[in-house]
Amino acid sequence: MGQFYTGSYATKEQEGIKAMRLLDNGGLAEGSGLAGIHHPSFLAVNAAGTRLFAVSETGAEPGSVFSFAIDAGHGTLSPINETSTLGGSPCHLTLDAKERLLIATNYSGGNVCLFAIGEDGALTLADQAVHEGRGPRNDRQEAPHPHSSIIDAGNRFALVADLGTDEIVHYRIDHEARKLVRHHATKTAAGAGPRHMAFHPAGDRLYVVHELDCTVAVYGYAGEASELTLLQTVPTLPETFEGESTCADIHVSNDGRFLYASNRGHDSIAVYRIAQDGNGLLELVEIMSSGGRTPRNFAISPDGGFMLAANQDSDSIVSFRIDAATGRLQPTGDAFASVKPVCIAFL
């Protein structure tokens, strides 16, 4: 059905990255594992399935990004090189469309790094951008905290969600000079804490999940100038919920009909129907238990038939079948025990 890799908050001594396979019935099968990296929390795989990139998410000290060659037959990983991200807690990676550049965001460092990818898969630091400012919350927004980046359909602009400053910062990518050129910034609601983003397959809508106020924002996107227009903001939690919860991940279904966002604390996946009349607005379908605790990350299978939820604090990856007509999630009954899983990357 589909090969994938898992990233985690494992220690160096543990197998923090694992090669796995999703079976036709939604079951999970384990392959090879790789130890030796502290907190390989976020992974990115190239389209050909020949290269895997992984962060080493440290604390305040500068982290690293690793490049690996993937063995097509067995999924085993062979190291290519490691390089510093020049900032603490690197937590996200994004490849450009031509797969010649890699963007790493550093949550604690407040900076965004651009790496050039060589023909052999080796990474070389090309540029970095340092954010400034803060948000209204003293506990989480005392400084910039870039949390993720996304590149638009034209491969011209990189958008960076900064949880600390309540901004989506737009950079023009100078591919020839291999530079990030600051273009402008879009302010989100104060205290929202933008975390992860997903474009609609059409490229003209951007969906942003806010970690701190547990909402999803829908933006219209004009690619020529990389401009965002806020269209809608919806909650990810039931109105009756009164506990502590933060949002984590967001994904749009492959056919552009449904959107999913994860809640940590409520421990659930919010499911929305995307309007197909061109405006891309959201209508809540259901809020489904993630089958464990703290769903930091989840992924949709390449065929669109299944979702895998990485439940960090229950050490489990849980499999769901996606109803093609309604977008609803149905547990398959399959779960896999895994140490602090926090990322799933399909080939």
Q: What is the mean pLDDT of residues 263-271?
A: 98
Confidence of residue 246 (pLDDT cuts 50, 70, 90): very high
Predicted confidence at residue 1, as pLDDT, reads 63
Q: Is residue 255 part of a domain?
A: yes
Please write the tens of the pLDDT for every residue from 306-346: 999 999 999 999 999 999 999 999 999 999 999 999 999 99
Total domains present in the chain: 1
For 91, half-sphere exposure in the C-beta direction (CA atoms, 13 angstrom radius) is 25
Domain span at residue 146 reads 88-346
The label of the residue with tokens 């089958």 reads 291
pLDDT above 70 for 79: yes
Q: What is the mean pLDDT of residues 285-294?
A: 98
Predicted confidence at residue 43, as pLDDT, reads 98
Instruction: Find the CATH number of the domain harbouring 155.
Output: 2.130.10.10
Q: Is residue 172 part of a domain?
A: yes
SS3 (DSSP) at 118: coil
Q: What is the mean pLDDT of residues 184-210?
A: 98
Q: What is the mean pLDDT of residues 188-202?
A: 98
Query: Could you tell me which residue, 61 or 26, shows the higher pLDDT?
Result: 26
Q: Is residue 180 part of a domain?
A: yes
Q: Is residue 300 part of a domain?
A: yes
Tell me the two tokens of residue 81: 């090189």
Q: What is the mean pLDDT of residues 261-274?
A: 98
pLDDT above 90 for 255: yes
Q: Is residue 143 part of a domain?
A: yes
Q: Is residue 76 part of a domain?
A: no
Q: Cα separation of 53 and 121, whole Å?
A: 9
Q: Is residue 6 part of a domain?
A: no
Q: What mean pLDDT value characterizes the chain?
A: 97
Dihedral angle, C-alpha 192, 195, 199, 205, nearest 10 °: 10
